[in-house]
């Protein structure tokens, strides 16, 4: 009986060699075609104006639903607020492992058209670069996720775990349309072991990828208002309790406060690895990064790294008065606080009030109902992180992988709060290209989008494909 079965299997393999090879070999991606299609998806997405506010993300969700339907994949719109839909789709695995989620957001920040050299919603391609609002943040991620998801379907990759595609609304302006509500209402559609999202920063120097950053943690954004009060009156009569004067002093103290520096697992590993690819002087900094003298250098020369080591306080808005000759009874400033993941924010605000030390100035926490939530970092030693490191070696063997703690924030916090190991990745950029994120003439290189698709596809298949 066993002999007969073996014989039939051998005959079947002889007659169907492709089927046996398909089951055993790693899926092969046609990189050139995948790059071209991902670039087309990105251009289509840029041309859909989703400036937030107001968002209008349902137009993107409907576009994605149409693309997925054409590929034979049913997708569901999750419209928590009229006109502001997220979208979710799923490729089924055999259930032997928990799902993997690919996510990116549909909305973009507003533009000042007068400062752009091209139409920000025309997806102009010039010198190998695609220009447009969202080209980097975050429609490139959505386009790449879509391409990887479709390739899994087309190549009929046998999956050990479900792969979920999600494109969510209202990331840029936390609101009832955003991820907090989606997670609360639809967690059964998103529950997963691993997630890949924006939040990584991969750097190109001298035409080569220097490192590929994988986000494992993020600082927590929390707004604080400084509210100063005093006597109102005519501007011709100076007053010692002038609210504007007291506010100005408070802002100066808050903005120059050097908050305590400390390392966590992610930032410790980040600086250790960064030292191995840095010039000698900088490498010495990164090996002794908590040294006060090094901190002074970082504050001036590497402010992003300085921020990674501490809860930061940055004044961003001022408001006071109605007329130049009227002393206003109140004045207000907004501080953008980006807290380390383990920061006790209530205690931090108390300490801030002590630094200001002025009874005329109150420290008031802004409403954070729909903002990102406190969450533990994702682990550095998991099947997913290891797969991302291997994928980096495939597409950029001369580079290294750096674990990152983002100084900004993403929707990954809502997943990490549910125990998901979420990792941030992103299309490699030059420093000039990175500076256009949320800025003017936002752009990415088409070639790097293609490299990123190959990178993500390799990592996804390594973790999700049946062995």
Q: What is the pLDDT of residues 171-225, one digit of tens each?
A: 999 899 999 999 999 999 999 999 999 999 899 999 999 999 999 999 999 999 9
Round to whole Å and give the CA distance between 87 and 145.
13
Please write the tens of the pLDDT for every residue from 380-396: 999 999 999 999 999 99
Query: In the predicted model, is pLDDT for residue 21 greater than 70?
Result: no
Which residue intervals of the chain bear CATH 3.40.630.10?
26-216+380-464
Integer angstrom CA distances of residue 417 from 56, 94, 215: 27, 27, 15
What is the DSSP-derived secondary structure letter of residue 114?
G
* Cα(191)–Cα(88) distance, integer angstroms: 12
* pLDDT for the residue numbered 12: 41
Question: Under a CB-based contact definition with an 8 Å cutoff, are residues 47 and 73 in contact?
Answer: no
pTM of the predicted protein model: 0.91
Query: For the chain, where do the domains classified as CATH 3.30.70.360 start and end?
Result: 220-259+311-339+342-375
CA-derived radius of gyration, the chain: 25
Residues 439 and 132 sit within 8 Å (Cβ to Cβ)? no
Model confidence at 325, in pLDDT bands (50, 70, 90)?
Answer: very high
CATH number for the segment(s) 26-216+380-464: 3.40.630.10
Q: Which of 251, 318, 261, 250 is nearest to 285 (CA)?
A: 261
- Fold of the CATH domain 220-259+311-339+342-375: Alpha-Beta Plaits (3.30.70)
Q: Give the CA distances from residue 166 to residues 77, 85, 100, 145, 278, in Å, rounded to whole numbers and listed in that order.
A: 10, 11, 11, 9, 37
Q: Which helix (H) or strand (E) holds 332?
A: strand 330-339
What per-residue confidence (pLDDT) applies to 13? 41
The closest alpha carbon to 202, from 264, 148, 277, belongs to 277
């Amino acid at each position: 009986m066993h002999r007969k079965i073996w014989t039939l299997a051998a005959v079947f393999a002889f007659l169907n060699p492709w089927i046996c090879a398909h089951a055993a070999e790693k899926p092969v991606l046609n990189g050139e075609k995948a790059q071209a299609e991902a670039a087309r998806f990105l251009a289509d997405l840029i041309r859909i104006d989703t400036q937030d506010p107001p968002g209008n993300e349902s137009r993107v969700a409907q576009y994605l639903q149409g693309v997925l339907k054409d590929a034979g994949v049913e997708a569901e719109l999750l419209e928590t607020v009229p006109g502001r839909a997220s979208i979710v789709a799923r490729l089924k695995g055999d259930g032997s492992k928990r799902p993997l989620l690919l996510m990116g957001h549909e909305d973009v920040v507003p533009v000042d058209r007068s400062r752009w050299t091209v139409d920000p919603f025309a997806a102009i391609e010039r010198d190998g670069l695609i220009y447009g609002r969202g080209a980097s943040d975050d429609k490139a991620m959505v386009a790449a996720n879509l391409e990887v998801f479709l390739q899994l379907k087309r190549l009929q990759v046998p999956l050990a775990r479900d792969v979920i595609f999600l494109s969510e609304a209202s990331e840029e302006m936390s609101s009832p349309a955003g991820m907090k509500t989606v997670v609360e209402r639809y967690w059964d559609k998103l529950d997963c072991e691993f997630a890949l999202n924006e939040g990584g920063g991969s750097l190109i120097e001298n035409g080569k990828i220097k490192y590929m950053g994988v986000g494992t943690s993020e600082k927590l954004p929390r707004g604080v208002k400084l509210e100063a009060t005093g006597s109102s009156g005519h501007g011709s009569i100076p007053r010692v309790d002038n609210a504007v004067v007291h506010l100005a002093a408070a802002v100066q103290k808050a903005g120059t406060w050097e908050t305590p520096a400390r390392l966590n697992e992610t930032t410790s590993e980040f600086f250790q690895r960064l030292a191995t690819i840095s010039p000698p002087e900088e490498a010495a900094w990164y090996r002794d990064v908590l040294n006060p003298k090094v901190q002074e250098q970082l504050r001036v020369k590497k402010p992003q790294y300085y921020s990674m080591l501490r809860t930061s306080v940055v004044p961003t808005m001022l408001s006071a008065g109605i007329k130049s000759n009227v002393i206003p009874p109140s004045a207000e400033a907004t501080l953008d606080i980006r807290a380390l993941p383990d920061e006790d924010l209530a205690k931090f605000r108390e300490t801030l009030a002590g630094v200001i030390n002025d009874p005329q100035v109150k420290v008031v926490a802004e409403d954070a109902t729909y903002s990102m939530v406190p969450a533990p970092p994702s682990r550095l030693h998991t099947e997913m992180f290891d797969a991302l490191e291997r994928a980096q070696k495939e597409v950029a063997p001369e580079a290294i992988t750096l674990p990152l703690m983002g100084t900004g924030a993403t929707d990954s916090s809502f997943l990490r709060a549910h125990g998901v190991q979420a990792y941030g990745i992103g299309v490699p950029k030059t420093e000039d290209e990175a500076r256009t994120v949320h800025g003017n003439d936002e752009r990415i290189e088409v070639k790097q989008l293609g490299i990123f698709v190959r990178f993500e596809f390799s990592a996804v298949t390594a973790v999700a494909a049946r062995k």
